[in-house]
């Protein structure tokens, strides 16, 4: 089987027989499980006779997810060629679902939200290719919107590539502050730079609370600061929450150079969705990891608590910067962190 993608305008409308809709809701990808299958699939289906392909996409999205309110846009066309069969063509859409209603009683038994690509896919030779195309399209938009705000953003296929680039950028004698991030821990970035002889301020190395606080303060005036982000939006914003505020402070001002590493699961369309993602997805998971117990840990959603255990005391939205490229955002084609 061979799957190919095409920019819009190359494939003739009359060839298009399917619509596939890569969909997000609350910052996660929406997949459906067909009543006759145990695997997951991106919403989509056949075009009816004389139906406008855009209407096919809207109809299938409603039928297969229960979407009530959404924004939808065409992204590309695709073809699938199976051995001994004619080439089939379809159009790929991206939909941002704002409101989900009840799932209509058609072919889909249930829907589920995933960070990126689930293991059990119905069409493993087709749908990952389409999803990655859509995300690259989104990332290109994000990079150009960041550029307008003087923030540099770059795409990487995997964490190894990012790590090599960070090692290339940071000189031997530079001091480095580390903002706590599951992504950076996965990269082993602290050990890498300690082994190279850099001074690294990482609170994870502290023996006690007093030293932890000192390290956080020193990180604020390091030459470089490396951290993750809770969300980045296609409209060009970086959204973070913090318990004590050290990480959002360092991103905003202090270190002359800041590198933010984010996985593809952190990309949302707008800053408003970024806040929703941060409060309803990142906070409960981060709170649990850090041993705090605000209400969102149990409820799995934010209730704007005033708990002493609140992990989102500071909320930061970076909308631009005066110093060109002080902040660099490295986007990785993997689902990383919370
Ligand atoms: S305000 Fe409270 S409930 Fe909401 S995300 Fe923050 S810690 Fe959780």
Residue listed under structure tokens 């459906």: 32
Q: Is residue 324 in some structural domain?
A: yes
Among 280, 311, 314, 316, the mutation site with the greatest number of ligand 1 atoms within 8 A of its Cβ is 311
Using the mean position of ligand 1's atoms as its centre, give its distance from the Cα of residue 232 in Å: 19
Q: Could you tell me the two tokens for 209?
A: 């609370």
The set of residues, in sequence order, having a beta carbon less than 8 Å from that of 177 and lying 6+ positions away, is 201, 202, 218, 219, 220, 222, 224, 225, 226, 250, 254, 255
Using the mean position of ligand 1's atoms as its centre, give its distance from the Cα of residue 281 in Å: 10
Q: What percent of the chain has pLDDT over 90?
A: 94
The set of residues, in sequence order, having a beta carbon less than 8 Å from that of 66 and lying 6+ positions away, is 100, 101, 102, 103, 104, 111
Give the residue from 137, 164, 197 where a domain finishes: 137
**Cβ–ligand 1 contact at 282 (below 6 Å):** no
Report pLDDT for 255: 97
**Cβ–ligand 1 contact at 295 (below 6 Å):** yes
Q: What is the CATH number of the domain that holds 20?
A: 3.90.79.10
Ligand 1, atom 4, lies closest to the CA of: 302
Among 231, 305, 308, the mutation site with the greatest number of ligand 1 atoms within 8 A of its Cβ is 305
Report pLDDT for 166: 98
The set of residues, in sequence order, having a beta carbon less than 8 Å from that of 310 and lying 6+ positions away, is 243, 294
Using the mean position of ligand 1's atoms as its centre, give its distance from the Cα of residue 309 in Å: 9
Is residue 274 domain-shared with residue 159, that is, in the same domain? yes
**Cβ–ligand 1 contact at 312 (below 6 Å):** yes
Does the pLDDT value for residue 179 go beyond 90? yes
- Ligand 1 atom at minimum distance from 299 CA: 3
Is residue 168 domain-shared with residue 129, that is, in the same domain? no
Q: Is residue 338 in some structural domain?
A: no
DSSP-assigned letters across all residues of 98-123: EEE-PPPSSSEEEEEEESS--SSBS-
pLDDT digits (tens, 9 = 90+) for 280-293: 999 999 999 999 99
Report pLDDT for 181: 87
Our count of domains for the chain comes to: 2
Report pLDDT for 49: 95
User: What 8-state DSSP symbol labels residue 48?
Assistant: P
Strands (E), 82-204: 88-100, 108-114, 152-156, 175-178, 199-202
Q: State the Cα–Cα distance between residues 161 and 240, nearest whole angstrom.
A: 24
- Ligand 1 atom at minimum distance from 297 CA: 8
Report pLDDT for 182: 87
**Cβ–ligand 1 contact at 308 (below 6 Å):** no
pLDDT digits (tens, 9 = 90+) for 57-110: 999 999 999 999 999 999 999 999 988 888 999 999 999 999 999 999 999 999
List b or e across 61-70, with b for residues whose CB sees 16 or more CB atoms inside 10 angstroms.
bbbbbbbeeb
Q: What is the CATH number of the domain that holds 264?
A: 3.40.50.10420
Report pLDDT for 171: 97
Residue listed under structure tokens 């590198």: 259
Does the pLDDT value for residue 27 go beyond 90? no
Q: Taking a C-beta distance cutoff of 8 angstroms, is the pair 75, 90 a contact? A: no
Confidence category of residue 257, pLDDT binned at 50, 70, 90: very high
Report pLDDT for 337: 87
Is residue 82 domain-shared with residue 154, that is, in the same domain? no
Report pLDDT for 180: 86
Q: Is the dihedral of CA 241, 245, 251, 252 positive or negative?
A: positive
**Cβ–ligand 1 contact at 306 (below 6 Å):** no
176, β-bridge pairs: 200, 224
Q: Is residue 268 in some structural domain?
A: yes
Report pLDDT for 269: 94
Residue 237: helix, strand or coil by DSSP?
Answer: strand
Is residue 127 domain-shared with residue 159, that is, in the same domain? no
Indicate the average pLDDT of the chain: 96
Report pLDDT for 195: 97
pLDDT digits (tens, 9 = 90+) for 145-160: 999 999 999 999 999 9
**Cβ–ligand 1 contact at 279 (below 6 Å):** yes
Q: Is residue 130 in some structural domain?
A: yes
Does the pLDDT value for residue 39 go beyond 90? yes
Residue 31: helix, strand or coil by DSSP?
Answer: strand
Chain centroid, CA 335 distance in Å: 7
Is residue 100 domain-shared with residue 241, that is, in the same domain? no
Is residue 7 domain-shared with residue 112, that is, in the same domain? yes
Q: Is residue 337 in some structural domain?
A: no
**Cβ–ligand 1 contact at 230 (below 6 Å):** no
Ligand 1, atom 6, lies closest to the CA of: 312
Domain containing residue 74: 2-137
Among candidate residues 280, 277, 271, 338, the one with its CA nearest the CA of residue 304: 280
Q: Could you tell me the two tokens for 134?
A: 């859509």
Q: Is residue 144 in some structural domain?
A: no
**Cβ–ligand 1 contact at 305 (below 6 Å):** yes
328, β-bridge pairs: 152, 259
244: how many CB neighbours lie within 10 A of its CB? 14
Mean pLDDT of 307-319: 96
**Cβ–ligand 1 contact at 294 (below 6 Å):** yes
């Amino acid at each position: 089987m061979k799957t190919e993608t095409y920019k819009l305008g190359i494939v003739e409308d009359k060839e298009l027989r399917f619509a596939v809709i890569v969909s997000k809701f609350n910052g996660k990808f929406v997949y459906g499980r067909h009543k006759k299958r145990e695997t997951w699939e991106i919403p989509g289906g056949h075009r009816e006779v004389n139906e406008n392909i855009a209407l096919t996409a809207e109809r299938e999205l409603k039928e297969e997810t229960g979407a009530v309110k959404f924004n939808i846009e065409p992204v590309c066309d695709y073809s699938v060629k199976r051995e001994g069969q004619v080439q089939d063509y379809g159009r790929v859409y991206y939909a941002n679902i704002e409101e989900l209603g009840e799932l209509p009683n058609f072919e889909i038994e249930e829907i589920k939200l995933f960070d990126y690509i689930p293991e059990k896919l119905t069409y493993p030779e087709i749908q990952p290719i389409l999803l990655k195309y859509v995300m690259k399209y989104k990332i290109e938009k994000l990079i150009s919107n960041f550029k307008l705000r003087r923030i540099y953003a770059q795409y990487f296929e995997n964490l190894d590539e990012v790590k090599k680039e960070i090692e290339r950028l940071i000189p031997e004698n530079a001091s480095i502050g580390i903002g706590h991030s599951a992504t950076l821990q996965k990269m082993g970035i602290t050990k890498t730079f300690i082994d190279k002889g850099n001074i690294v301020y990482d609170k994870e190395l502290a023996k006690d609370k007093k030293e932890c606080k000192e390290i956080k303060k020193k990180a604020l005036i390091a030459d470089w600061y490396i951290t993750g982000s809770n969300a980045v939006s296609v409209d060009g914003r970086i959204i973070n929450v913090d318990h004590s505020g050290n990480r959002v402070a360092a991103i905003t001002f202090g270190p002359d150079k800041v590198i933010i590493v984010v996985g593809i699961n952190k990309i949302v369309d707008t800053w408003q969705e970024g806040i929703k993602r941060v409060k309803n997805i990142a906070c409960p998971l981060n709170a649990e990891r850090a041993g705090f117990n605000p209400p969102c840990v149990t409820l799995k959603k934010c209730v704007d608590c005033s708990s002493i255990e609140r992990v989102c005391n500071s909320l930061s939205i970076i909308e631009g910067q005066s110093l060109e490229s002080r902040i660099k955002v490295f986007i990785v084609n993997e689902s990383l962190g919370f």
